[in-house]
Amino acid sequence: MCGIVGYVGPQDARDVVLEGLRRLEYRGYDSAGIAVVADGALSSAKKAGKLANLEKVLAERPLPAATIGIGHTRWATHGGPTDRNAHPHLSADGSVAVIHNGIIENFAVLRAECEKDGIEFTSETDTEVAAHLLARAYDAAPEGEGRLADAMRTVCRRLEGAFTLVATAAAEPDTLVAARRSSPLVVGIGDGEYFLGSDVAAFIAHTREARELGQDQVVEIDRHRGLTVTDFAGAEVEPTAYTVDWDAAAAEKGGYDWFMLKEIAEQPQAIADTLLGRLGVRGELVLDEVRLSDQELRDIDKIFVVACGTAYHAGLIAKYAIEHWTRIPVEVEVASEFRYRDPVLDRSTLVVVISQSGETMDTLMALRHAKDQNARVLAICNANGSTIPRESDAVLYTHAGPEVAVASTKGFLTQLVACYLVGLFLAQIRGVKYEDEVSAIVADLRRLPEAVAQVLAGMEPVRELARSLADANTILFLGRHVGFPVALEGALKLKELAYIHAEGFAAGELKHGPIAVIDQGTPVIVIVPSPRSRESVHGKVVSNIQEVRARGARTIVIAEEGDEDVVPYADHLIRIPRTPTLLAPVVTTIPLQVLACEIADTRGLDVDQPRNLAKSVTVE
Ligand code: AGP
């Protein structure tokens, strides 16, 4: 969602800010804007649509060179994606400019108050109210050092909802001020220069030194005096310092047409990085970063896995593995529903929140609800320094590197691997598995990067198949056991990338209704479990393939090497290497990622930034 960039330092702020916005494009947006301070005045430009539109405006009407600037990519919430609604928003008197991510929930009341004072609004956004309030507070604040920060604190105390705000003032050419509540913001520290970003991608080309801002904090950056962080009341706080372990090259396309293709290709390495340092020499799990004591882990009697979208699908698969290995009951829930149904949680409940970005608002709110109810929260997360791990009791980072494409690929596979680690670790600590059982599964985990590389090497026929599916109106996905969440994930990928109607079903549910939609030629993709899977699940899925084929479906079958039972019923057969049942989703998902990516590309769509979507969903 909205991307935020701020810069103060010796470089030309126009270039740094635009470059930062480009690096945040992946978050998803529908308008963009920039403001700089030069010669005691604020100058801004903004435009609906992609950054190229803004750049065209800037080419025709350049902003003055400046050493301080702010920039924004907006994902519309209040008011459509128009030029007027794009950020930055300037106060009526032109004294301050503001950019914002989040939703100001009490904006209607505050807007009415400003209008009563004679202020005319020029947009339909909730953000504009912050600009006018800030100008008023700035006017009222004592002159001298810290005046803009003082005004920002006054405004923040009046705002309800979630927000990151960054402001600059015409009279303060060396000062940037920002505030955050439940919305992301990180500070980058360079050599005599400072950066603000919704995430570190905005500035990793310049510096890897970063500071995390906590909840309800205001940062004032003065080019000469440096950084001061306070809470909304004005009490100084020490921000947490960290070094970003991603490099700038990791956030570039590296010769691929799409970030998504690059991220699919990176999956063997990403999985290896998730496992790195966590598998001991004796085949045991070493998860030192899970800061819960052995006794706390032994006391757990129920697990909730809470997440959104693709991360939720990882949770659905985790349930099969964790329950099987630990015998602890696991419930999986979409984060946006979790807190509203009053789940039963207590000190012996472990809530595992999964989030690639670490900023998904629904997941964050679920986490806070779990903590309010006294549950222990373990985060599985990719983005270092993000809000979700910071607020959790413990965190297991996936170390997948930056995921730029909106569609999650390596994020998902590494979440799965992290879930396996958590399940096995619990089994090890609680002594419910013999050591040699744990080490046998650990050996299977070690083989995953190679298995994934093998699947990737055989994807050309899948790409060819994808091109023949590009005109389909509906594609169905079927699976049983862990193949069912994989079917859901395959359908989600296709919907979000190719805008094709797609649904995933538990194969056994088909005959209870959905089979009626199958028509002559309807493509049905079936994820077949290993013939070695339990209680003839394999045989049942083979029967399901026959059922849909008998009704005219075009069957696309994903099955293990050597599984000959499926051959007579598969119009297209995609082979995957032999993999233990519970770990199989790591390999069976890959053809579905490639299929969705290739179909979208064939349809001429933007694979990395599908319409209406944002990479990290920072509003509820
Ligand atoms: C995945 O392809 C989606 N874009 C989306 O479902 C995503 O997984 C979801 O929004 C959760 O994001 P998170 O992992 O960053 O919390």
DSSP structural state of residue 123 = S
Averaged confidence pLDDT in the chain: 94
Tell me the C-alpha to C-alpha distance, in Å, between residue 368 and each of 179, 389, 456, 619. Answer: 20, 12, 39, 15
- Domain check: are 518 and 437 in the same one? no
- Domain check: are 258 and 212 in the same one? no
Please identify, by atom number, the ligand 1 atom nearest to the C-alpha of residue 357.
15
- Reported as a single tens digit per residue, the pLDDT across 505-529 is 999 999 899 899 999 999 999 999 9
Q: What is the pLDDT of residue 27?
A: 78
- Domain check: are 407 and 508 in the same one? no
Instruction: State the distance from the centre of ligand 1 to the C-alpha of 338, rounded, in angstroms.
Output: 17
- Reported as a single tens digit per residue, the pLDDT across 453-496 is 999 999 999 999 999 999 999 999 999 999 999 999 999 999 99
Which residue has its alpha carbon closest to ligand 1 atom 4? 407
Instruction: State the distance from the centre of ligand 1 to the C-alpha of 613, rounded, in angstroms.
Output: 10
- Domain check: are 257 and 221 in the same one? no
Which residue has its alpha carbon closest to ligand 1 atom 2? 407
- Domain check: are 142 and 211 in the same one? yes
Q: How confident is the model at residue 29 (pLDDT cuts 50, 70, 90)?
A: confident
Domain of 506: which CATH number?
A: 3.40.50.10490
- Domain check: are 191 and 219 in the same one? yes
Does the pLDDT of residue 536 top 80, yes or no? no
471 is a domain residue: yes
Our mutation pick for probing the ligand 1 site, out of 308, 313, 354, 384, counting the most ligand atoms within 8 A of Cβ, is: 308
CB atoms within 10 A of CB 206: 21
277 is a domain residue: yes
Please identify, by atom number, the ligand 1 atom nearest to the C-alpha of residue 383.
15
Does the pLDDT of residue 346 top 90, yes or no? yes
Our mutation pick for probing the ligand 1 site, out of 310, 494, 616, counting the most ligand atoms within 8 A of Cβ, is: 310
Whether 72 contacts 32, CB under 8 Å: yes
620 is a domain residue: no
Asked if 419 is an active-site residue, the reply is no
Orientation of helix 127-140 relative to helix 107-116, angle to 10°: 50
Asked if 2 is an active-site residue, the reply is yes
Which residue has its alpha carbon closest to ligand 1 atom 6? 309
Residue type, 343: P
CB atoms within 10 A of CB 337: 12
Residue 533 or residue 369, greater confidence: 369
Please identify, by atom number, the ligand 1 atom nearest to the C-alpha of residue 617.
10
Q: What is the pLDDT of residue 248?
A: 67
Q: What is the pLDDT of residue 106?
A: 93
Q: What are the tokens at 561?
A: 């090497």
Which residue has its alpha carbon closest to ligand 1 atom 9? 309
Instruction: State the distance from the centre of ligand 1 to the C-alpha of 616, rounded, in angstroms.
Output: 7
- Domain check: are 462 and 575 in the same one? yes
Whether 338 contacts 304, CB under 8 Å: yes
CA 254, CA 239: separation in Å to the nearest integer? Answer: 34
- Domain check: are 91 and 218 in the same one? yes
CA 459, CA 595: separation in Å to the nearest integer? Answer: 9
Whether 262 contacts 253, CB under 8 Å: yes
Tell me the C-alpha to C-alpha distance, in Å, between residue 337 and each of 145, 292, 307, 450. Answer: 46, 27, 10, 37
CB atoms within 10 A of CB 444: 15
Q: Report, as an integer, the average pLDDT of 28-40.
A: 92
> What lines the ligand 1 site, CB under 6 Å?
308-311, 355-357, 360, 363, 406-408, 496, 616-617
- Reported as a single tens digit per residue, the pLDDT across 357-385 is 999 999 999 999 999 999 999 999 999 87
Query: Which ranges of 231-384 would DSSP assign to H, the alpha helix?
Result: 259-265, 267-275, 294-299, 309-326, 335-338, 361-372
Q: What is the pLDDT of residue 25?
A: 85
CB atoms within 10 A of CB 516: 9
CA 104, CA 511: separation in Å to the nearest integer? Answer: 47
- Domain check: are 423 and 473 in the same one? no
Instruction: State the distance from the centre of ligand 1 to the C-alpha of 412, rounded, in angstroms.
Output: 9
317 is a domain residue: yes
- Domain check: are 272 and 214 in the same one? no
194 is a domain residue: yes
- Reported as a single tens digit per residue, the pLDDT across 296-311 is 999 999 999 999 999 9
CA 246, CA 561: separation in Å to the nearest integer? Answer: 36
Please identify, by atom number, the ligand 1 atom nearest to the C-alpha of residue 412.
8
Picking from 399, 424, 446, the residue at the C-terminal end of a domain is 446
In the chain, % of residues over pLDDT 70: 99
Instruction: State the distance from the centre of ligand 1 to the C-alpha of 409, rounded, in angstroms.
Output: 10
Q: Report, as an integer, the average pLDDT of 330-354.
A: 95
CA 411, CA 417: separation in Å to the nearest integer? Answer: 10
Q: How confident is the model at residue 535 (pLDDT cuts 50, 70, 90)?
A: low
Q: What would the DSSP string read from start to end of 596-619?
A: HHHHHHHTT--SSS-TT--SS---
Q: What are the tokens at 62?
A: 């350049």
Which residue has its alpha carbon closest to ligand 1 atom 16? 355
Instruction: State the distance from the centre of ligand 1 to the C-alpha of 312, rounded, in angstroms.
Output: 8
Please identify, by atom number, the ligand 1 atom nearest to the C-alpha of residue 408.
2
25 is a domain residue: yes
163 is a domain residue: yes
Our mutation pick for probing the ligand 1 site, out of 486, 617, 620, counting the most ligand atoms within 8 A of Cβ, is: 617
Instruction: Identify the three-state secondary structure at position 69.
Output: strand
In the chain, % of residues over pLDDT 90: 82
End-to-end CA distance of the chain: 12
Whether 379 contacts 367, CB under 8 Å: yes
- Domain check: are 434 and 503 in the same one? no
Instruction: State the distance from the centre of ligand 1 to the C-alpha of 606, rounded, in angstroms.
Output: 17
Q: Report, as an integer, the average pLDDT of 384-406.
A: 91
CA 480, CA 485: separation in Å to the nearest integer? Answer: 8
CA 518, CA 478: separation in Å to the nearest integer? Answer: 12
Please identify, by atom number, the ligand 1 atom nearest to the C-alpha of residue 310.
8
Owning domain of residue 145? 3-250
**Structural domains counted in the chain:** 3
Does the pLDDT of residue 76 top 90, yes or no? no
Q: What would the DSSP string read from start to end of 127-164?
A: HHHHHHHHHHHHHHSPSSTTHHHHHHHHHHTT--EEEE
Picking from 401, 423, 446, the residue at the C-terminal end of a domain is 446
For 41-45, the CB contacts below 8 A with 24+ separation are 41/94, 41/170, 42/90, 42/94, 42/95, 42/96, 42/97, 42/168, 42/169, 42/170, 44/88, 44/90, 44/97
Instruction: State the distance from the centre of ligand 1 to the C-alpha of 68, rounded, in angstroms.
Output: 33
Domain of 226: which CATH number?
A: 3.60.20.10
Q: Pick the catalytic residue: 262, 433, 493, 615?
A: 615
Q: Pick the catalytic residue: 2, 381, 419, 597?
A: 2
Query: If you compute the radius of gyration of the chain from its CA atoms, what whole number of angstroms results?
Result: 26
Instruction: State the residue for tokens 């598969």.
Output: 570
Q: What are the tokens at 171?
A: 């009279």
Q: What would the DSSP string read from start to end of 571-589?
A: SEEEEE----GGGTHHHHH
Our mutation pick for probing the ligand 1 site, out of 199, 353, 360, counting the most ligand atoms within 8 A of Cβ, is: 360
Whether 463 contacts 469, CB under 8 Å: no
189 is a domain residue: yes
- The pTM (predicted TM-score) of the whole model is 0.81
Picking from 230, 250, 270, the residue at the C-terminal end of a domain is 250
3-state secondary structure 17-30: HHHHHHHCHHHCCC
- Reported as a single tens digit per residue, the pLDDT across 214-273 is 889 999 999 989 999 999 999 999 998 988 877 766 667 777 899 999 999 999 999 999
- Domain check: are 67 and 167 in the same one? yes
Nearest to 367 by CA among 352, 356, 382, 357: 352
Tell me the C-alpha to C-alpha distance, in Å, between residue 91 and each of 175, 320, 380, 498. Answer: 17, 54, 41, 41
What element of type H or E holds 437?
A: helix 435-457
Q: What are the tokens at 297?
A: 């882990």
- For the chain, give the number of residues: 620
